Chain A
Amino acid sequence: MRTTKRVRVEDISKPSAKLTELRREDFKPLPEPFQTPEATPEFTPLSEKAAETYESSLDDTIAVSIPKPKTKEEEDRLVAQFLSGLQKLFTKENNWTFLQPLLMSMDHCATCHTCSDACHIYEASGHNPVYRPAYRSEVFRRLYKKHVKHNGNGGMLQAWRDGEIELNWTTVARLAELAYRCNLCRRCAQTCPIGVDNALIAHEIRKVFSQEMGIAPKELHESGSVLQLKVGSSTGMNDVVVKDNIEFIDEDVSEKTGLSITTPWDKYGADILLIHNAGEIMSWPFNPGAFAVIFESAGLSWTMSSEIAGFDSINYGVWYDDAQFARVAIKHAEAAKKLGVKKIVLGECGHAHKALTVIADRVLTGELNIPRESCMVTFEDLVLNEKIKVDPSRNDFPVTLHDPCNLVRLMGVVAPQRRVLKKIAPRFREMTPHGVDNYCCGGGSGFAIMSGHNFGDWRAQIAGRKKLEQVLNAFKEELDPSINKYICAPCSNCKGQLRDLLAYYDVWEKHRIMYDGLAELIVNCMVDVEPGFIEWEWH
């Protein structure tokens, strides 16, 4: 199974309508009953207007929406900007944050292609050469060697040694898009015998575009981190709206559970500042509601914050921009500092976990270095030490666990959620593979919130294909629609992707496979709570 057209590294510089085309008959077949190409919906073509307006010469979709330059002078100016950013990326002043890992990945690839088979995107696409993890890295590596290491003066010997590449607008525009055909899940890096990290290279390419050229997908920058820093949340909710929404959620949850639940706000001196991905509040309100039930029932000292960014744990900068990343991380820490809490507990959001717990660990200094902990750990303590009482028979339905890459492969929180599930879900089964070897849901690195043009098709047909295969295989003995099944996905972005993926293939209607978080599953089996917290209705 292979797309017929071969694409060489240097082809990226050659102008053409498209570097590669996507055909569903090339894609990796899904398990039954989706095994035929026809079971995958038709890929929506780009509109004529989109194709005329934006750069779209990489493949059949658009993620970044770069307006086409109108003149050669404009093209040249953009190429010069890119080159300037490329050179800055390799200076310690501008990129101390990732310089060592980047240089190591630039200088030591043996092009053994061990990374290729680890990539769910490459595999799902039917081994499309453009989606090979090493493809974008090799393009970038050649540009680096030609224009940074040799400052463009290496001559023919340098090209002979490092490979041909031409820096022109076609290369730059395609590279921008190509940086957004990777979920940054780092599964490829895990298999590299030398330690080269193609996901890091994709991340660094994104930074050149954002930090030097001001080019990034609108969903991540303008409607993402910029909005969050302005009003407090990328959902657009400010402190007043979020408090209102949580009040409604408290009322709903109280009615549903028979408990009286009130979420505390801005409680100075609480032990825990809980920060949710605010997308939960908008799209899956019973998740923050379930947290409130669990924390209140266990008698924890906790609070939420109404400070800017204190009520939304997302940090999209982690995917594309160090400056935005640091700004948001500092806002999170400042909210905790202001409340004098002992620790921050992160709600069910994978990238927020990794951003604030791991990566920001070398940004937050002094009084801003407030301890951060995963809610998986908090749940384990409460459930396994019986600080809340559970009746697992209430969860007597098939359950599988989706491992968010950020939580598992990238920060090593693997076992706590499993110990909880083994206690509360008698019909729990693992996906294959799982844990640190898991596959990304296909929504990683911002894709879950990116659906512009026909990018949603690409996300469902290629990025999410491997995850759909895993889900179907996990429940293959019980696909009968009379059996309700539950994917426990303790991450907002993963849930967004699973929602779109299951809807795209009509999996809920055909097989009754639902997704939600871990908190809901815990509350569903709490003995102090009215039965039926999980509603088997599509959302």
Chain B
Amino acid sequence: MKILASLITMLAATAFLLAAEPDLHRGKPDIWGVWLGTGGYPDIDPRYRNTPWPTVEFTAWGAAESKRLTTPETPDECMPYGPHAYMAGGSLFPFEIVKATKGLVLLYEPSPVPRRIYYDGRKHPEDIDPTWLGHSVGRWDGETLIVDTVGTNGRGRPLNGYLSGAINSKTDDTPRLPVSDRLHMVERIRLVGRAEYLEDEITIDDPKTYTRSFTVKHYWQRRPDLEVLEYFCADNRRPEAEGHTGSKP
């Protein structure tokens, strides 16, 4: 009888273990929670200051696209970002990194779409349906999450003038930095500064837009005191002439 009970217990335990989802997050660095980019704090410790975007060399297509996006008529204020602008490291909006069953989800306050990074072992699909943020797969290399992104639709909002170095320009007429549908973005995300800062080394390879690839490092500070709030953009549209978030209807 005792043997039977032990057997049943063992079978039940085995069934439970087989049924349980593997915990992708066990033993991984504590990157969870709310983070705010350091870009808006000139006095931040220089070790955690965003590196400036380099002076890029556009292809003909990239130059035309950047110029198009710099005009006030385009594009729409409320459209999603490209993945590089999602990770721009500015200080106006926090994002939250949340554990998901198949990887992680980034919830960036001003974005209408979450960013999903899968690290359940999958690869990019052979034939990717394009999306605003593209398809991101990651793998942990020790304490660093290496993320590979392709499959963008090339219509995401660009990096804006302030982050691309236009800090002295009151008219913000410096180039927007777009990415195309041929973007290949590789990121190395890790905790630094006693786990109080998050570093993302971003390499952008986009031969349709830029003549060569380039790398920047962006930083976020851990901000448990902040919440990621609701942001529904298309709620208070104004005519173009009335203000700087004016939009064409």
Asked if chains A and B come from one complex, the reply is no
Report which B residues bind A (CB closer than 8 A).
none
Report which A residues bind B (CB closer than 8 A).
none
